[in-house]
Amino acid sequence: MQFIDLNSQREQLGTRLEVAIKKVLEHGRFILGPEVADFEDALSNYTGAPHVVSCANGTDALVLALRALGVRPGETVVVPSFTFAATAEAVALTGAVPVFADVDEATFNLSADTVRAAIDVAPSAVGVIAVDLFGHPAPYASVREVIGDRWLLADAAQSMGGRAEHSRVGTLAQMTTTSFFPAKPLGCYGDGGAVLTTDGDMAEVVRSLRVHGQGAGKYDSERIGYNSRLDTIQAAVLLLKLELLEDEMRRRQQIAARYGEALSDIVTVPKLRPDTRSAWAQYTVRVEDRDRVAAALADADIPTSVYYPRPLHLQAAYCGYPRASEALEASESLSGDVLSLPMHPYLTEADQQRVIEGVQRLVRK
C-alpha cells in the first residue's frame, strides 16, 4: 500500500501522457510554450478565478503574490505556525516579518480568534496568509471580518479542488497561491505553482515578476523580478491531470467518509466547517501515543506520515520571529499527536479496510 500512489493515477492517463510530452519535445518551446497558457486557461475555467499565472513552484507563487500585494521589507504578515515552512519562508524571503498565529484545534486552520490575537501583538501587520491545511479551506469570510483593510492571501498549496462558501478554491481570497509538487492534490512530475487572482492588475505584476520583472518589451526591466516559470512539459502533464481532478475529488470524499465513519469513535477525526469540500490532501487524525501507533502501522505495512512534527514558531529558522503569545497551544498540541493516514484517489476498498482495521486494532477507547 502506498501513502500517495502516483502510478495508479498515471495508469488512468495511459499513453496520452507520453503523447502530450512528445508533442512538447517536437515543438520545442520549453519555456512558456503554448501548453502553459492553455493550462492557465483551463485552471481559470475550473476554479472560476479570472486570472491564473503559473510559476516555478508553490513557494515562488507565495513570494510573487506577496510582491504583487506590495509587501515591503520590514512589514509584518500574519501566518499560522502549524503549516509547511514555505508559508513563513516566503514572507521572510521578501524581507518582511512573519508573525505567528495559533490555529483552531478542531480544524487545524486559522480562525477569526487566532488571527485577532496575532493582530493584537502586531497591529501594524499589513496582511494575513491563511493556509488550507490538508485540503480544508480556511474560514475566509470570518477571518476577513477581523482584519480591517489588511489583505488576505490564500495558501492553497494543499487544497486545489476544494470548495467553500459555494465557490471553488482559487476564488476564496483576492489572491490565492498553489503548488503542483507531485504529491499535492493537483500535482505534476516536477515542481510547479500558480497565482490565482480576481485582480487583473496584480496578475500583470505577477506575469512581469516571473520573467525578471520584464516590461512591455522583452529587454525592458520594469522591476526586479525572478526567473520563475512553469515548464511547458509540466503544463502539458497538468492539462491531463486537471481532467481527472473532479473524479479524484469525488473518490477522496468517499474515502474520507469511510475513514470518518469507521474511526470517529476511537480517534479524533478531522472536522470540516459546514459548506466546505476538503481536497483531502491528507487525512489527518489525532491519536494518543502517536509514535507507537505509527510504528505499529509501519510494521503492518501501512504507511503514515506526521504533518507537522514541530510548529514553525519552535523551529530554529523561525523561533526568533514574533508570535501571538509565548505558547501557541493548539499548534504545539497538534504537533504532538497528529497522524496522516494513506489518502489518494485510487486507494482500494481493501486497502481502506486494512487501514481502518489497523487503527482499530491499535487504538481502543
Ligand X SMILES: *Cc1c(COP(=O)(O)O)cnc(C)c1O
Q: Verify binding: residue 342, ligand X, rule CB under 6 A.
A: no
In the structure, how many helices (H) and strands (E) does the chain have?
12, 12
Which member of 140, 181, 189, 308 binds ligand X (CB under 6 A)?
181
For 10, half-sphere exposure in the C-beta direction (CA atoms, 13 angstrom radius) is 10
Q: Verify binding: residue 225, ligand X, rule CB under 6 A.
A: no
Of the candidate spans 81-89, 96-104, 116-124, 200-208, the one that interacts with ligand X by CB under 6 A turns out to be 81-89
CB of 288 to ligand X, least distance (A): 26
Number of residues that bind ligand X (CB under 6 A): 15
CB of 351 to ligand X, least distance (A): 24
Q: Verify binding: residue 179, ligand X, rule CB under 6 A.
A: yes
For 330, half-sphere exposure in the C-beta direction (CA atoms, 13 angstrom radius) is 19
Q: Which residue is nearest to ligand X (CB)?
A: 58
Q: Verify binding: residue 107, ligand X, rule CB under 6 A.
A: no
List the one residue out of 96, 128, 105 whose CA is nearest residue 115. Answer: 128
Which member of 33, 161, 193, 311 binds ligand X (CB under 6 A)?
193
- The pattern of x and - marking residues 135 through 174 that bind ligand X according to CB under 6 A reads --------------------x-xx----------------
Which member of 39, 84, 134, 308 binds ligand X (CB under 6 A)?
84
124 Cβ contact list (under 8 Å, min separation 6)? 75, 76
Which member of 21, 46, 49, 58 binds ligand X (CB under 6 A)?
58
CB of 60 to ligand X, least distance (A): 7
Q: Verify binding: residue 81, ligand X, rule CB under 6 A.
A: no
CB of 62 to ligand X, least distance (A): 6
138/202 with CB nearer ligand X: 138
Please name every residue paired with 177 in a beta bridge, in sequence order, or none if there are none: 155, 195
Which member of 47, 83, 107, 208 binds ligand X (CB under 6 A)?
83
Residue 152's φ and ψ, nearest 5 degrees, are: -130, 120
Of the candidate spans 82-90, 197-205, 310-318, 338-346, the one that interacts with ligand X by CB under 6 A turns out to be 82-90
CB of 157 to ligand X, least distance (A): 3
177/208 with CB nearer ligand X: 177
Which member of 86, 118, 256, 362 binds ligand X (CB under 6 A)?
86
Which member of 191, 269, 282, 338 binds ligand X (CB under 6 A)?
191
CA angle 313, 107, 139 (to 5 degrees): 95
Cell of residue 139, nine digits: 474560514
58/358 with CB nearer ligand X: 58
User: Strands 151-155 and 175-179, how do they pair?
Assistant: parallel
CB of 217 to ligand X, least distance (A): 30
What b-and-e string marks burial along 188-199, b requiring 16 or more CB atoms within 10 Å of the CB? bbebbbbbbbbe
Please name every residue paired with 284 in a beta bridge, in sequence order, or none if there are none: 340
Residues 262-321, interacting with ligand X (CB under 6 A): none
Question: Edge-to-edge strands of the sheet including 167-168?
Answer: 167-168, 163-164, 276-277
| Type of residue at 295 | A
- List strand residue ranges (DSSP E) for the chain, in order: 51-55, 76-80, 97-101, 127-131, 151-155, 163-164, 167-168, 175-179, 193-197, 276-277, 283-286, 338-341
Omega within 30 of 0 (cis) for the link into 308:
yes
Q: Which residues bind ligand X (CB under 6 A)?
A: 57-59, 83-84, 86-87, 131, 155, 157-158, 179, 181, 191, 193
